[in-house]
Amino acid sequence: MNTAEQFAQALDQLPLVAILRGLRPEEAPAVGQALVDKGFALIEVPLNSPRPLESIAALAAQHPDHLIGAGTVLTSAQVRDVQAAGGRIIISPHFDPAVVHEAVRLGLACVPGVATPSEAFAALHAGAHALKLFPAEMITPSVLKAMRAVLPSGTALLPVGSITPDNMAAYLSAGAKGFGLGSALYKPGQSAQEVGAAAQRFVQALRG
């Protein structure tokens, strides 16, 4: 099974991407284990975190059967750095065809950020495996539903931005496949136990 197939399978099983912005490498093992224990298979360390490649490497070594990767990936060089650290998912706040092409060339799963139908179609044409709807604060469930109506039926749409257990249902009803979870799941300095409790709330909301 290649990375793209594993990514699609993970989205079917638990379509929640943990965004660990601000994670420090020394925290990564405990926080990562807390998430995996709750069923998470998709973990992102944004590149504007402290020593992010070290955290990605630690998580990838600890959980080789899970998909660990990077967020806030802005350049092709960063794509290569993430792969070298063991990362297999490339997530961006925007759509840059060069970033998508490099990720696809290296066999990584790629999820660029889009906010309009034009960006969405362009990202899919470039080879994106899913689309990050960002910022979700400006992409309401009704907007997502309108985009869902014109995009290819199999497109995975993942709202990211101020997602909480309380607002997931409306997005799911509108056609969201899953979510990227930021500060409502993890804030710098939180204990692994706190992260695990937050993860459980999200899993319950998704499955409820």
As annotated, the active-site residues are 44, 132
What are residue 113's DSSP bridge partners?
Answer: 132
Which amino acid is present at 22?
Answer: G
Contact by Cβ (8 Å): 49, 20 = yes
Which amino acid is present at 58?
Answer: A
- Per-residue exposure over 5-40, b if at least 16 CB sit within 10 Å of its own CB, e if not: ebbbebbeebbbbbbbbbbbbebbbebbbbbbebeb
Closest CA to 159 of 130, 185, 183, 187: 130
d(CA 141, CA 147): 10
Max CA distance (Å), the chain: 44
